[in-house]
Amino acid sequence: MKNRFILPNFLYLTSVLSILLCFGCGGAEDEQEATDPTNNTFLNEPVEPSRHPAEQQKWLTDEDRKKLRDAEQWLHLTVEDWVNLKDEDWEKLKGKDWVGLTNAEVRKLMNLEIPKGWAAQEKDEALREKFSTAARFQKFGDIPQLRYDVEFRRNSPKMAGKDGFIVVTPEFAKYLVADRAATYFLFPTEAHRRLLEDDIKGLKSIVAQEKRRFREQLRIEYPEAWVKDMRTFLIDKHGNIPEVDTIVNFLRKLELNIPRTDEECFAYIRICSELYLLADSYTGSIYESYAWLEASHQLRHILGDHPRQTGTLEKYRAARAAGLSFYNIKWDDD
């Protein structure tokens, strides 16, 4: 998904922060007292949260969640950890439907007579692969790293779609990192180490992305549970600081269609500026980006209109009204 959060330029940001300093954060009013309709950006929506049919969204299955957990347990291993896995760990890193090497097949490979000059002379791809595998078994012996490498390469084509491409899920990313670890163990070159490090980063990124999608689905189906999950997520990210409670309170009111005061909008923008924008890169969640746009839109009588942001906000609102994930928004559609 393209990141469609429109970052204000530094001039606009400076003006916002100047206004914030003059305006002040203000105290959060009681939800029952915030009844001024100008403070509600959803003027035609009921205060009570709406519910949307679950069939409009493809939810993660129990099997999907299990794969996510299985991948996540390997995230924090260092390169050295990966290449020093216990023998039993290699079996955990294989797919259930993989066709494994048998002991008899390995014995045949270790006893296979390999013709001299086969690498340069043999034209048959199947024979070349057989001689290559046999040569490695005869060099390294029957070890789990080599078995894994051979089995991964044999089973990878089954994971590809009709177009020949493999969708890199957390499960496949875990397999790929394990294969890189096996290769680095067998051939400990600097190039293989860099490949392993890159794929470890890739695995972490993919699992984080899937967790974000799961959190987004939780929001649509169980918004109150999502609020609690977001608070935990933000505390893990920023620490248990007062600013987290301000963000969570704003997100909760926004998701449950509870009116927000202008003071709360200013406070949200100010905190997001401090935590994200002033750090030279935006690292907030997709919903925090959407909330920024809602807060800015409510304050348009002070900050002014920004057409590009308005178009993005309309996309978010349409997806939200339809009960669809923000990650499924088609940004290129008119």
Q: Are residues 98 and 195 in the same domain?
A: yes
Contacts with 71 (C-beta within 8 Å, 6 or more apart), sequence order = 170, 171, 173, 174, 203, 206, 207
Last residue of a domain, one of 207, 235, 257: 207
Which residues constitute the domain of residue 81?
A: 62-207
Residues 293, 309 contacting (CB under 8 angstroms): yes
Q: Are residues 81 and 27 in the same domain?
A: no
CA dist list (Å): 230 to 59, 296, 298, 329: 18, 21, 23, 21
Count of all residues that appear for the chain in the document: 334
Q: Are residues 233 and 306 in the same domain?
A: yes
Q: Are residues 240 and 151 in the same domain?
A: no
Rg (CA), the chain: 27
Q: What stretches of 118-189 show up as alpha helix (H) in DSSP?
A: 118-121, 125-140, 144-155, 170-186
Q: Are residues 46 and 155 in the same domain?
A: no
Tens-level pLDDT at each residue, the chain (334 residues): 333 333 333 334 434 444 444 444 444 333 433 333 333 333 333 343 433 434 334 456 777 777 888 888 899 999 999 999 999 999 999 988 899 999 999 999 999 998 887 777 667 788 888 989 999 999 999 999 999 999 999 998 887 776 778 778 888 999 999 999 999 999 999 999 999 999 999 999 898 888 888 888 889 989 999 999 999 989 988 999 999 999 999 999 999 999 999 999 999 999 998 888 765 566 788 899 999 999 999 998 887 777 778 889 999 999 999 988 888 888 876 5
Cα separation of 146 and 152, whole Å? 10
First to last CA, the chain: 16
Q: Are residues 128 and 260 in the same domain?
A: no
- For 4, how many CA atoms within 13 A lie in the half-sphere containing its CB? 22
**Does residue 231 fall inside a structural domain?**
yes
